[in-house]
Amino acid sequence: MNNSEGVDCSAFADLGLRDELVRALVDLGYEEPTPIQREAIPHLLAGHDVLGQAATGTGKTAAFALPLLHALDGASRGPVALVLVPTRELAMQVSEAVYKYGHHLRATCVPVYGGQPIGRQIEALKRGAHIVVATPGRALDHLRKKTLKLDDVRTVVLDEADEMLDMGFAEDLEAILESTPAGRQTVLFSATMPPKIDKIARKHLSDPVRVTIEKSSTAAGTTPKVKQSVYVVNRFHKAAALGRILDIEEPEAAIVFCRTRGEVDQLTETLNGRGYRSEALHGGMDQETRDRVMARVRARTAELLIATDVAARGLDIEHLTHVVNYDVPSAPESYVHRIGRVGRAGREGTAITLAEPREQRLLHNIERLTRQAMTFERVPSPEALRAKRMQTTVESLRDAIGVVADDHADVDEVLAELLSSHSIEDIARAAVKLAHDAEISALDESDIPDLSHTMSRDGKKSKKDFSDRPGRTKTFDRSGGQRNERLDGRDLARLYVSVGRRAGVRPGDLVGAIANESGVPGRDIGVRIFDSHSVVEVPAARAEHVIRAMKQTSIRGKRAMVRLYRDER
Provide DSSP, 358-424.
GGHHHHHHHHHHHT-PPEEEPPPPHHHHHHHHHHHHHHHHHHHHHHHHHS-HHHHHHHHHHHTTS-H
Q: Which amino acid is at 123?
A: E
In a domain, residue 450? The reply is: no
235 and 318 housed in the same domain: yes
Nearest to 126 by CA among 67, 167, 77, 87: 77
Q: Which residues span the domain enclosing 257?
A: 226-379
Residue pair 347/226 in contact (Cβ under 8 Å)? The answer is no
343 and 277 housed in the same domain: yes
The angle that helices 118-127 and 136-145 make with each other, rounded to 10 degrees, is: 70
Q: Which residue has the higher pLDDT, 73 or 115?
A: 73
CA distance readout (Å), 385 to 14, 147, 191, 254: 54, 58, 38, 19
Can you give the pLDDT at residue 219? Answer: 40
Number of structural domains the chain divides into? 4
Q: Which residue has the higher pLDDT, 439 or 503?
A: 503
pLDDT tens-digit map of 429-483: 777 666 656 555 444 445 676 676 666 544 444 433 323 333 333 332 322 333 3
User: What would the mean pLDDT of 501-524 be, rounded to a whole number?
Assistant: 79
Residue pair 61/93 in contact (Cβ under 8 Å)? The answer is yes
Can you give the pLDDT at residue 129? Answer: 93
Q: For residue 136, name the pLDDT band (cuts at 50, 70, 90).
A: very high
Q: Give the CB-side neighbour count of residue 188, counting CA atoms within 13 A.
A: 26
Can you give the pLDDT at residue 214? Answer: 62
The number of beta carbons lying within 10 Å of the beta carbon of residue 376 is: 18
The number of beta carbons lying within 10 Å of the beta carbon of residue 194 is: 13
35 and 174 housed in the same domain: yes
CA distance readout (Å), 143 to 122, 146, 150, 164, 376: 11, 5, 9, 18, 50
Q: Which residue has the higher pLDDT, 104 or 262?
A: 104
In a domain, residue 458? The reply is: no
In a domain, residue 569? The reply is: no
In a domain, residue 520? The reply is: yes
User: What would the mean pLDDT of 240-251 be, rounded to a whole number?
Assistant: 89
* pLDDT of 526 higher than 90: no
* pLDDT of 549 higher than 80: yes
Domain end among 379, 394, 416: 379
439 and 401 housed in the same domain: yes
494 and 397 housed in the same domain: no
Can you give the pLDDT at residue 539? Answer: 87
125 and 49 housed in the same domain: yes
In a domain, residue 460? The reply is: no
361 and 414 housed in the same domain: no
Nearest to 29 by CA among 44, 14, 7: 7
Lowest mean pLDDT among 104-113, 164-173, 312-321: 312-321
230 and 244 housed in the same domain: yes
* pLDDT of 309 higher than 80: no
538: which strand partners?
Answer: 493
* pLDDT of 556 higher than 90: no
In a domain, residue 142? The reply is: yes
Measure the CA–CA gap between 366 and 327, rounded to whole angstroms. 13
Domain end among 179, 212, 245: 212
Q: For residue 145, name the pLDDT band (cuts at 50, 70, 90).
A: very high
Q: Which residues of 327-342 are buried (b: 16+ CB within 10 A; e: fewer)?
A: bbbebbbbbbbbbbbb
Residue count of the chain: 569
Can you give the pLDDT at residue 343? Answer: 64
In a domain, residue 139? The reply is: yes
Nearest to 240 by CA among 531, 464, 497, 441: 441
319 and 410 housed in the same domain: no
* pLDDT of 147 higher than 70: yes
In a domain, residue 457? The reply is: no
550 and 526 housed in the same domain: yes
CATH number at residue 504: 3.30.70.330
Q: For residue 347, name the pLDDT band (cuts at 50, 70, 90).
A: low
CATH number at residue 94: 3.40.50.300
Q: Which amino acid is at 445?
A: E
Q: Give the CB-side neighbour count of residue 230, counting CA atoms within 13 A.
A: 27
pLDDT tens-digit map of 349-407: 899 999 988 787 788 888 877 777 788 998 887 777 777 767 766 666 666 665 555 55
Domain end among 445, 463, 495: 445
Measure the CA–CA gap between 248 and 42, rounded to whole angstroms. 47
Measure the CA–CA gap between 203 and 402, rounded to whole angstroms. 69
Measure the CA–CA gap between 61 and 67, rounded to whole angstroms. 11
Cβ neighbours for 119, distance < 8 A, ≥ 6 positions apart: none
231 and 186 housed in the same domain: no
145 and 287 housed in the same domain: no
